[in-house]
Amino acid sequence: MTDSLVLSIDGMGGDDAPDIVVEGVDIAAKRSTDTRYLIHGDAARIEALLARYPSAKAATRVAPAEKAIGMEVKASQALRQGKGSSLWNAIEAVEKGEANAVVSAGNTGAFMAISLFRFRAMEGVHRPALTTRWPSIKGGYTVILDVGANVEADNEQLVEFAIMGEAFARAVSNIARPSVGLLNVGSEEQKGHEEIRAAAALIRQADFDMDFRGFVEGDDIAKGTVDVVVTDGFTGNIALKTGEGTARLVAHYLRDALTGSLLGRLGALIAYPALRRLRRRMDPGTFNGAVFLGLNGLAVKSHGSADGHGFAAAIDVATLLARSHYREEIASNLARLAAAEAAGAKVGEAG
Amino acid sequence: MTDSLVLSIDGMGGDDAPDIVVEGVDIAAKRSTDTRYLIHGDAARIEALLARYPSAKAATRVAPAEKAIGMEVKASQALRQGKGSSLWNAIEAVEKGEANAVVSAGNTGAFMAISLFRFRAMEGVHRPALTTRWPSIKGGYTVILDVGANVEADNEQLVEFAIMGEAFARAVSNIARPSVGLLNVGSEEQKGHEEIRAAAALIRQADFDMDFRGFVEGDDIAKGTVDVVVTDGFTGNIALKTGEGTARLVAHYLRDALTGSLLGRLGALIAYPALRRLRRRMDPGTFNGAVFLGLNGLAVKSHGSADGHGFAAAIDVATLLARSHYREEIASNLARLAAAEAAGAKVGEAG
């Protein structure tokens, strides 16, 4: 591996792969000229696309893969039969040290299963977590995890998520000391179930130097009350999908209002540039790139329906993380967590 | 009690009480002329307001209450010290048979605690649940419960929520056979945690004559995929608050887009009637009225920040439920649930 970054790309993952993948690499290659790309997949199709994208072509090597894992394949099946696929090979290239991170817009379940199987969880991480970003009224975004890797999380796992999310926010948002909140049904200390109250106590007890703000509520995600919102994968997945559904509902109402009358249509025509800007801000692609955090390898998942710009955003996340010290930061806070737990256990014995 | 409906109203609950309460009663009184209202609270203030609202005045009797429970009072404190308050008396009037239902825009925790204490849970209901409605793209709304009465729910409680939510939807939405889904992280049968899979199995096993559609995801709430979405109070509360936060975020983006440029402002001016219609559709007051389901008394909670129209919407929910057979329907399905569980236990013993 040279000094420049190498990203291993699943060329065949995503609804419109390989087209959006090569387009995304082209956009990213223009932004960051010292990154190299290793695109795995159908070599003939990918080379044909590269011929149309000179910036991508100049920075890319194609690694032929004989098959692709479909979006409907179950994780267990992908693990058994996925060897030799573009996704599998893309992950393996990172494992072998040929690349710094893998990016795929493919099957999420397969991506998580194969990443976990090949990379393994970092020492001290019980459950890697899927981490993503949600736009906030403050103009930036809120990091949220877990958004679906695990359906349950105990207090210790929630604290691990807090550690991982904080390091992620520092790497990707360029905030020196990101604030962290635990998602709950109220901000008062006595609220919520036992696991979450125990997690809050454990964070306060451990010597993390973390800007921990206690409990936050669902509407704090879009408000941007804290930089990092921590929750279990069941709640996180459902909350964000409810948010997505609501955003689509409001967009539908807006379309309805602006096409339902002559004045509405005329106004929309005149305000067209402003409405186009609104559409771009609401485009989930802007914040594309979920990271499966807590593995020994860096695994970034693009939304399956991403376009080229969305895929490039996922590449940006991989680049920022690969150039950061997120893994060392996580390891050092995990050691502090272990120390706090050992001290807690001693207190327990003494009592 | 006469044949006409009597609603017991907490005159002092809500951010802008008693004003919005009397205004709401006036709006409702014009819609439904055979309902009578018993408004509890500061008699002088309420009488002064009634003088300005003749329709409300004609249908209302004021029951003086010496105090009011503030929005910041904890549920436990409200239980200890709430006797004689407008909320307490409003609930008690239903318990004594003087009214058919209670409506309050006051402190949610106090409302649930005092309702549960005075009304008690229906026979067979382990945990009453807070039930609300969310607008859907289909044009109607989705009933969702529990949205915060309990932080956890086991499989049996989830099934009870399904029974209660289905009866609620039939009463309020006028759908003969509402479809029901369990909120999960995927629609496949093997998804989610054990409780939710056990709940799905139990619903299928019981003889409910319920249109049960299995698992639904967060975005199905706004899509209107099913009429009733069932979840635990932790997930439900966080999901809806995330949705609310997102709706506010999109509205903020829209305002930004339409005020950020001259063409945007001009377009918005021309499309003003259409945008006002949009604003009305997005107004949470349209679907105001959360019901604390599963009690022996009918308890409807208006949003604390509701205006008169919002409060009237909550009164409408109380009226529809009071005129329906929702309690008998719940009781009959609870009996079927008990039978299914007894049969399951027998199978368990035999195995």
B112: its two tokens: 């649930």
Above 70 in pLDDT, residue B170? Answer: yes
Does the distance separating the beta carbons of A251 and B185 come in below 8 Å? Answer: no
* Distance between A255 CA and the closest CA of chain B, angstroms: 9
Q: Of the residues B95, B119, B143, which one is the last residue of a structural domain?
A: B119
Per the domain annotation, does A308 fall within a domain?
Answer: no
Above 70 in pLDDT, residue B158? Answer: yes
Query: Looking at beta carbons, which residues of chain B come within 8 Å of A113?
Result: none
Question: What is the edge-to-edge ordering of all strands in the sheet holding B60-64?
Answer: B60-64, B35-41, B5-10, B101-104, B299-301, B290-293, B129-135, B141-145, B228-230, B179-183, B211-216
Per the domain annotation, does A314 fall within a domain?
Answer: no
Per the domain annotation, does B307 fall within a domain?
Answer: no
Percent of chain A with pLDDT over 90: 75
- Does residue B104 contact residue B20 with C-beta atoms inside 8 Å? no
Query: Looking at beta carbons, which residues of chain B come within 8 Å of A267?
Result: 266-272, 274-275
Phi, psi of A55 (to 5 degrees): -65, -40
Least confident span in A195-199, A308-312, B270-274: B270-274
Above 70 in pLDDT, residue A348? Answer: no
Above 50 in pLDDT, residue B24? Answer: yes
Query: Looking at beta carbons, which residues of chain B come within 8 Å of A223?
Result: 245
Query: Looking at beta carbons, which residues of chain A come within 8 Å of B244?
Result: 218-219, 246
Q: What single-letter amino acid sits at A109? A: G
State the alpha helices, DSSP H only, in B97-225. 108-119, 155-173, 194-205, 220-223
A91: its two tokens: 């992950």
Query: Looking at beta carbons, which residues of chain A come within 8 Å of B219?
Result: 241-242, 244-245, 248
* Cis-peptide into B18, omega within 30 deg: yes
Does the distance separating the beta carbons of A258 and B242 come in below 8 Å? Answer: no
- Does residue A129 contact residue A149 with C-beta atoms inside 8 Å? yes
Does the distance separating the beta carbons of B148 and A185 come in below 8 Å? Answer: yes
Q: How many CB pairs (< 8 A) connect A and B? A: 212
Q: Where are the beta strands (DSSP E) in B65-186?
A: 101-104, 129-135, 141-145, 179-183
Query: Cα(B12)–Cα(B107) distance, rounded to whole angstroms?
Result: 10
Domain extent for B195: 122-293+325-351
Query: Cα(B236)–Cα(B70) distance, rounded to whole angstroms?
Result: 25
pLDDT, residue A351, reads 42
Query: Looking at beta carbons, which residues of chain B come within 8 Å of A272?
Result: 263, 267
Look up the CATH number of the domain holding residue A46. 3.40.718.10
A32 shares its domain with A164 = no
Above 90 in pLDDT, residue B309? Answer: yes
- Does residue B13 contact residue B108 with C-beta atoms inside 8 Å? no
B170: its two tokens: 């039939």
Per the domain annotation, does A74 fall within a domain?
Answer: yes
A138 shares its domain with A72 = no
From B193, B222, B248, residue closest to A245, measured CB to CB: B222
Length of chain B: 351
Above 90 in pLDDT, residue B40? Answer: yes
Query: Cα(A216)–Cα(A182) distance, rounded to whole angstroms?
Result: 6
A113 shares its domain with A130 = no
Query: Cα(A110)–Cα(A181) distance, rounded to whole angstroms?
Result: 30
pLDDT, residue A207, reads 83
pLDDT, residue A1, reads 42
Q: Of the residues A103, A119, A135, which one is the last residue of a structural domain?
A: A119
Collapsing DSSP states into helix, strand and coil, what is residue A42?
coil
Least confident span in A283-292, B168-177, B328-337: A283-292
Measured CA to CA in angstroms, residue B239 lies from A206, A220, B47, B229, B336 at distances of: 30, 12, 40, 12, 30
Report the chain B residue with the minimal C-alpha distance to residue A259: B274
Report the chain B residue with the minimal C-alpha distance to residue A238: B218
Calculate the CA dihedral of residues B125, B127, B131, B136 and round it to 10 degrees: -90
Per the domain annotation, does A46 fall within a domain?
Answer: yes
Higher-pLDDT residue of B93, A283? B93
Query: Looking at beta carbons, which residues of chain B come within 8 Å of A281?
Result: 253, 257
Above 90 in pLDDT, residue A282? Answer: no
Categorize the per-residue pLDDT at B348 as very low, low, confident or very high, splitting at 50, 70 and 90: low
Above 50 in pLDDT, residue B2? Answer: no
Query: Cα(B262)–Cα(A24) distance, rounded to whole angstroms?
Result: 34
Sort strands B290-293 and B299-301 into parallel, antiparallel or unpaired: antiparallel
Sequence-distant (6+) residues with CB within 8 A of A297 are: A91, A94, A95, A101, A102, A115, A118, A119
Per the domain annotation, does A64 fall within a domain?
Answer: yes
Query: Cα(A293)–Cα(A131) distance, rounded to whole angstroms?
Result: 7
pLDDT, residue A289, reads 86
B110 shares its domain with B129 = no
The ipTM assigned to this model is 0.89
B128 shares its domain with B215 = yes
Report the chain A residue with the minimal C-alpha distance to residue B276: A257
Number of domains in chain B: 2
Mean pLDDT for the stretch of residues A87-98:
98
B168 shares its domain with B80 = no
From A243, A252, A270, residue closest to B263, measured CB to CB: A270
Mean pLDDT for the stretch of residues B216-225:
96
Query: Looking at beta carbons, which residues of chain B come within 8 Å of A263?
Result: 270-274
- Does residue B143 contact residue B173 with C-beta atoms inside 8 Å? yes
Q: Which residues on adjacent β-strands are paired with residue A10?
A: A40
Report the chain B residue with the minimal C-alpha distance to residue A191: B151
A152 shares its domain with A271 = yes
- Does residue B40 contact residue B9 with C-beta atoms inside 8 Å? yes
From B185, B244, B278, residue closest to A234, measured CB to CB: B185
Per the domain annotation, does B3 fall within a domain?
Answer: yes
pLDDT, residue B130, reads 95
pLDDT digits (tens, 9 = 90+) for A225-254: 999 999 999 999 999 999 999 888 888 888
Does the distance separating the beta carbons of A250 and B247 come in below 8 Å? Answer: yes
B143 shares its domain with B106 = no
| Nearest C-alpha neighbor of A201 from the set A303, A304, A343 | A343
Categorize the per-residue pLDDT at A331 as very low, low, confident or very high, splitting at 50, 70 and 90: very high
Categorize the per-residue pLDDT at B49 as very low, low, confident or very high, splitting at 50, 70 and 90: very high
Report the chain A residue with the minimal C-alpha distance to residue B238: A218
Q: Of the residues B119, B153, B182, which one is the last residue of a structural domain?
A: B119
Report the chain A residue with the minimal C-alpha distance to residue B256: A278
A94 shares its domain with A167 = no
pLDDT, residue B58, reads 96
DSSP A317-345: HHHHHHTS-HHHHHHHHHHHHHHHHHHHH
- Does residue A156 contact residue A127 with C-beta atoms inside 8 Å? no
| Nearest C-alpha neighbor of A27 from the set A65, A53, A66, A45 | A53
Place of tokens 């995801």: B217
B193 shares its domain with B139 = yes
A144 shares its domain with A217 = yes
A204 shares its domain with A66 = no
Measured CA to CA in angstroms, residue B340 lies from A70, B123, B330 at distances of: 40, 17, 15
Per the domain annotation, does A313 fall within a domain?
Answer: no
Above 70 in pLDDT, residue B284? Answer: no
Categorize the per-residue pLDDT at B174 as very low, low, confident or very high, splitting at 50, 70 and 90: confident
- Does residue B26 contact residue B42 with C-beta atoms inside 8 Å? no
pLDDT, residue B1, reads 42
Range A152-168 burial, b when 16+ CB lie within 10 A, else e: bbebbbbbbbbbbbbbb
Question: What is the edge-to-edge ordering of all strands in the sheet holding A141-145?
Answer: A60-64, A35-41, A5-10, A101-104, A299-301, A290-293, A129-135, A141-145, A228-230, A179-183, A211-216
Report the chain A residue with the minimal C-alpha distance to residue B281: A253
Query: Cα(A180)–Cα(B245) distance, rounded to whole angstroms?
Result: 18
Place of tokens 């901000």: A187
Query: Cα(B29)–Cα(B22) distance, rounded to whole angstroms?
Result: 10
Among A72, A246, A269, the residue to mutate for chain B (most B Cβ within 10 A): A246
